[in-house]
Homo-oligomer: A and B are copies of this chain.
Amino acid sequence: MKPSKQRKSTKKLGKPGTVKKSGLPAGSLIHVGKIKTEKTRIDVIEYNATSLIEKNQLGIKEASAYIDTSEPTWLRVTGLQDTQLIGDLGKAYGLHPLLIEDILNTGQRPKVELMKDYVFFTTKTLEISPDNGVISDQVSLILRKNLIISFHESDLEFLAPLYERINLEESRIRNNGVDYLFYALIDIIVDNYFNVIEVVAEMIDNVEDQIFSSPEENVLDTVQQIRKELLFLKKTIFPIREGLSTLIRTDIPLIDPQQVKYLGDVYDHVIHIYETIETYRELNTGLKEVYLSALSNKMNEVMKTLTIIATIFIPLTFVVGIYGMNFKNMPEISWKYGYLSVWIVMIAISLFMLFHFKKRKWI
């Protein structure tokens, strides 16, 4: 990942998309965030160990029919711009207005909400874009009895392996309830964070190499960009950790204790990522110091060169200046070996200086 030319705006870092129009009542449905898909689309997969029914591009009426589904069902909403549709869907499934608002606000802080008959989990996905940048999307999950509703800000290509697995009859997803699918979705999202972490590690390594090979270039801009990137990751991961912790420690009837073990595994991964981010932040700070020291060393070298040349030649120039004076009465001028003597004196001075520098380890 090259540090992108356009610097990441601080504003974006701080409050990505929470610009709810102040003063609007809570629960006003406005999609906050860039529109990333053409149209909001609802797809559904109904599955069990032996059969799988997939329907695409459902209307709101069809989509609302799964409220008492007896088979594990995954209702997938892609694109958040059709707030009317999502609002209706939310009402159909009895979601709290605030949660619908959270689903639509793509600047929402990741969190878990445990409601009476459903669990709400909203989080961020992190992906490396083709040009090596980090793309962050929001995914919100509703876990109900036999039903998962997932809201995706855009098509998430990294979910492809999940689709493949759900199509295999022998896969664990097919042979478990929706709580396992819930876990599988979160797991695949968290696994993707590792890729981002790896790209940051590469950036740090590159900066380190650059400092040691050609320290004079200003790499502090890149170091500051990495710092921003890591701050962004930390800000994203931290509340996910909190959310998962809530899921694991609370006794939720919708999640089988067996699946809680799996969520615990995801939690461990998040902790691992979090600790790695902290480690990278320290390393990045260290890089800055190494760079500044390299700079100081360079400056030192420059100064020593100047000092050596100047302290050798300035006295010599003075010496030759003396005999450039036009005094009538300068006995040395007429001496036979005057010129030779001056050379000897000057060579002596130079050697003395060089010896002096040698002793002080300047050359």
Contacts and interface: CB of A to CB of B under 8 A. Distances in A.
Contact of A293 (B218, B286, B299, B360): B218
Nearest to A281: B282
Contact of A23 (B7, B191, B286, B295): B191
A161 interface: yes
A303 interface: yes
Contacts of A355: none
Interface string A180-224: 000110011001101101100110110010001010101011011
Tell me if A's interface is mostly helix, strand, loop or mixed: helix
A329 B261 CA distance: 98
A41 interface: no
A352 interface: no
A15 B271 CA distance: 12
A360 B298 CA distance: 10
B197 A14 contact: yes
Contact of A303 (B192, B204, B299): B299
Interface stretch (A86-94, A248-256, A308-316): A308-316
B109 A271 contact: yes
Contacts of A198: 11, 14-15
Interface stretch (A61-69, A129-137, A141-149, A330-338): A330-338
A325 B309 contact: no
Contact of A295 (B223, B283, B289, B296): B296
B289 A288 contact: yes
A285 to B, nearest CB: 9
A268 interface: yes
Interface stretch (A49-57, A73-81, A227-235): A227-235
Contacts of A294: 218, 220
Interface in A318-341: 318, 320-330, 332-339
Contacts of A224: 208, 286-287, 289-290
B161 A24 contact: yes
B268 A22 contact: no
Given A160-B23, A161-B24, A289-B288, A329 B336 contact: yes
A316 to B, nearest CB: 5
A34 interface: no
A307 interface: yes
B261 A96 contact: yes
A164 B307 CA distance: 66
A282 B227 CA distance: 9
A361 interface: yes
Given A13-B283, A317-B318, 9 more contacts: A11-B201, A11-B202, A19-B194, A216-B300, A288-B293, A296-B296, A299-B303, A316-B318, A329-B336
9 contacts: A10-B205, A14-B276, A25-B173, A109-B271, A220-B290, A224-B290, A227-B282, A291-B293, A313-B314
Interface of A: 7, 9-11, 13-15, 18-20, 22-27, 96, 98, 102, 109, 111, 158, 160-162, 164-165, 171-173, 183-184, 187-188, 191-192, 194-195, 197-198, 201-202, 204-205, 208, 212, 214, 216, 218, 220-221, 223-224, 227-228, 231, 235, 238, 261-262, 265, 268-269, 271-272, 275-276, 279-280, 282-283, 286-307, 309-311, 313-318, 320-330, 332-339, 342, 360-362
